[in-house]
Structure 1
C-alpha cells in the first residue's frame, strides 16, 4: 500500500475519488429524503432511485465515449459538469419543483455510469499491472466505508443544511475532484482510430465491449457467475424485512443494524481483497466473494441474533472481494482501447439482473417462506461459487493491458 500511495498520480486520483464518492454517498440518499420531505409520498421518494438507475439503458454508449476521449480529460470534465448539474437544485422549494429533482437524478445517474467506466479504464494507466489489485482494493475500501457512513452523514447534513445547501456542498466536492484531476500527469492515452479501410460500423464499435466479454473465457465465466450471484443477492435484499419482523421479532428499524454490519464487513473485505487476489488469482477471489454470500445466506435460514450479525458481515465482505477480483481481471484481460466499453457492458450484465431480482424477491416473499428462499439462495450461490472455483484456471496465463506510463516511486 505504501508503494501504491507513493505514486503521485494514484495518490491524486485516490484523494479526488474519495471526495467525489463522499458527495455521491450523501447525495443518493438525500435526493430521496428531499422528495419525501416535499411530497410526503413514499412512492415518489422511491421513484428517485428509479431515475438514478434509468441511464443504465445507455451504458454501452457511455463506454464508447470513454474509449474515444482521453480518460484524464473525461474525469476532469465529468466532475466539473456534475458540479454544474447540481446547481438547479438550489431553486427547489415546493412539490411543483419535483421535476427538477428527477431531472438532476437522471443526469447524475448517467454521470455515475460514465465515471465508473472512466475510473476502471484510467487506473491501469496510472499504476503498473502488479499493483492493480492494491489500487482496486484501496478504492473499494473507501467506497465501502462511505457506504457505511454516507447515509448517516447525508441524513445529518440534510437536517442541518436543508436540500439546497447540501446540494451546493456536494457540487463543491465534485468541483474539487475535477480540479485535482487536472494534476494527473498520466492518463493521456491517445484514442486509437481505425483506418478507413477497416473502419467498423458505429453499432459494432458500441457493442465491442460486450463481444470482448463473450469471447474471453475468463471474463465470460466471471460475468455469468457474477450475474447469477447478483440475482441471488437482489432477491435476498427483499427478504430482510420479513427476516427482521417474522424471524427476529423486531421492528423495521433493526434493519439498520444489519445494514451497518454489512458495511463493517464491506470495509474488512475491501482491505483484505488485494491479498485474496494475490493468493488465489482474480477468478479465485470472485469465487471466494460468492462463497461468502452463500455462507451468509445459509446462516439467515435460522433466525437468531447471534447468527444475524455475523451473517450480515459475511455478505458485506463478499461484495468488495468479488468486485476487486472482477475489476482486476477486466483490467488485465482487456486491451486499453476497449476498457470503457467492456466495463459498462459488464456493469449492465451484473447490475441489470440484480435490479430485476429485487422486484422478484418482493413478489416471492409474499408467497414463499423467507427461510426457504434464503436456503435456496445460499445453495444456488454455493453451487455458482464452487463452479467458479474449479474453473479458476481459465485465468491463466494472465494477459496484461498496455503498461502504465513509467513513473518512479517515491521513497517509503
Structure 2
C-alpha cells in the first residue's frame, strides 16, 4: 500500500461463525489442533526430562534456547513456504517432524542429551515452516474479511493447547516415561499430516524470482520495512513485545519479593494469562470489526503497557488484574497485525513476510530476557518494570504518528 492509499479502518469483518462455516478452514483448524498439541506437549516435557537426566537447571534451560534459535533461520523457512505449493509443504513438514521426534527413543542417559537438543532444534524449525506456509494458505483460502476471525480462532487453539497439552505431557512422563510422550507427539503430527493431505485448495501461482539468494531471502524484511503502514505497525509491535521479554524475568521477582509467595504461584499467573489469551483470540475479530486494525494494535499495546506497570505491584489483586490485561492485549495486537500483513502482502511473499515477522518479534524478546536476567542482580526489579512500561507506551508512537499523518488532507 502506498502512502496515498486509504488505510484499513473499521471495515467489514466477518465473525467466528462465518469462517467456521467454511469446510476447508475447519479441516485446516483440525490439523492445527493436532500439530499444536504435539508441539506444546513436547517442548516443556523435554525440558523436564533433561532436568531428570542431568539434574541441571541450566541444561534444562538450554531446551528453550534450542526452541528459540530457529528464528534466526527465518529467511530460509520463508523461502521454502513461498517457493513450493504450501499444502504439500505443510503435510511433508508434519511427517518430517514425526520422524525426527522418534530419534528421542534412542536417548538413554545424560551423555545423550545433545541428541535431545538437536531434535528440539530441528522440530522447532518445523513449527516456523508451518507458520509461514499456513499464512499463505489462509490468504488463498479466505476473503479479506474472514482473515481476522480465522487468525483469532487459530490463536485461541494455540493458547488453549499451551495450557492443557504440557500438563498432559508432564503427566504421561511421570506415569509411563518419555517414550510414551514421544509416541503421542509423533502420532499427533502424523494425524495432522493426514488431515492436511485431504485438503483441496486452489493456491496462488508461486513466482520464482531470478534474483540472488540474498535478495530472495531478505525480500520479506525489505517488503515489511518498505511498506507505508506495515513498517510503523511492525516497529510498534517489535518494541512492545520485545519489552515483554523483561517481564518473563521480573515476574519471578514479583512473585517472590513483591507478593511474598512461593515460586509455584507463577503457574497460577501463567494459567490465568493463558485463559485470557484464549478469550483474546476469540474476541479479536469483534474488536477489529468495531475500531479497525490500526486502532486494535494501539489498544492492545496500551493494555500491555498497563499490565506491565501493574505487574510491579505488591497487591495480589493488581497483579492478577494485570495478568488479565496481558492475556487480552497481546493477542489483540498480534492478530490485528498478522491480519494486516496478510491483506497487504502479495500471495507470492506470504511465507517470507510471515517468517520475517516471527524473527523480528522473537529475537528482540529473547535478547530482552537475557539483558533483564543480567541486570536483575544489579537493579531493583521495579526499576526494570517502570522502564519496560515506558517503552511499551512509547512504542505506539510510530503507528499513532503514521495515522495522524494519513488523516491530514492533501493540499
The equivalent residue for 2:105 is 90
Q: Measured at CA, do residues 395 and 93 of structure 1 come closer, stay the same or move farther in structure 2, by a change above 3 Å?
A: farther
Q: Measured at CA, do residues 160 and 392 of structure 1 come closer, stay the same or move farther in structure 2, by a change above 3 Å?
A: farther
CA distance in 2, matches of 1:387, 1:192: 33
The equivalent residue for 2:154 is 139
**Secondary structure at 1:344 match in 2:** helix
CA distance in 2, matches of 1:257, 1:162: 26
Q: Give yes or no for contact 1:291–1:386 (8 Å, CA) kept in 2.
A: no
**Secondary structure at 1:239 match in 2:** helix
Q: Does 1:369 align with 2:380?
A: yes
Q: Give yes or no for contact 1:218–1:395 (8 Å, CA) kept in 2.
A: no
Alignment of 1:240-319 (within 5 A): 240-319=251-330
Please list the CA deviations of residues 144-169 of structure 1 after superposition, one character each: whole Å capped at 9, or x if unmatched: 11122232222112212311111111
Give the superposed CA RMSD. Answer: 1.6
In the alignment, which of 304, 308, 324 is matched to residue 335 of structure 2?
A: 324
The equivalent residue for 1:38 is 53
CA distance in 2, matches of 1:151, 1:282: 32
Please list the CA deviations of residues 211-235 of structure 1 after superposition, one character each: whole Å capped at 9, or x if unmatched: 1011101111111111110221001
In the alignment, which of 75, 87, 111 is matched to residue 126 of structure 2?
A: 111
> Would you say how many aligned residue pairs link Structure 1 and Structure 2?
392
CA distance in 2, matches of 1:53, 1:214: 23
The equivalent residue for 2:175 is 160
The equivalent residue for 1:20 is 35
Taking structure 1 as the reference length, the TM-score comes to 0.92
Give, in angstroms, the shift of residue 121 of structure 1: 1.5
- Dislocated runs of 4+, deviation >6 Å: 393-396
Please list the CA deviations of residues 293-325 of structure 1 after superposition, one character each: whole Å capped at 9, or x if unmatched: 111112223211111111111112122111111
Please list the CA deviations of residues 149-195 of structure 1 after superposition, one character each: whole Å capped at 9, or x if unmatched: 2322221122123111111111000000001001111153332234x
**Secondary structure at 1:240 match in 2:** helix
Q: Flag structure 1 segments of 5+ consecutive residues without an equivalent.
A: 397-412
Give, in angstroms, the shift of residue 387 of structure 1: 4.9
Q: Give yes or no for contact 1:301–1:372 (8 Å, CA) kept in 2.
A: no
Please list the CA deviations of residues 368-391 of structure 1 after superposition, one character each: whole Å capped at 9, or x if unmatched: 222222122222212223553453
Give, in angstroms, the shift of residue 363 of structure 1: 1.8
CA distance in 2, matches of 1:227, 1:2: 31
Please list the CA deviations of residues 13-39 of structure 1 after superposition, one character each: whole Å capped at 9, or x if unmatched: 001101111111111101111111111
CA distance in 1, matches of 2:64, 2:227: 33
Q: Give yes or no for contact 2:251–2:311 (8 Å, CA) kept in 1.
A: no
In the alignment, which of 192, 202, 221 is matched to residue 210 of structure 1?
A: 221
Taking structure 2 as the reference length, the TM-score comes to 0.92
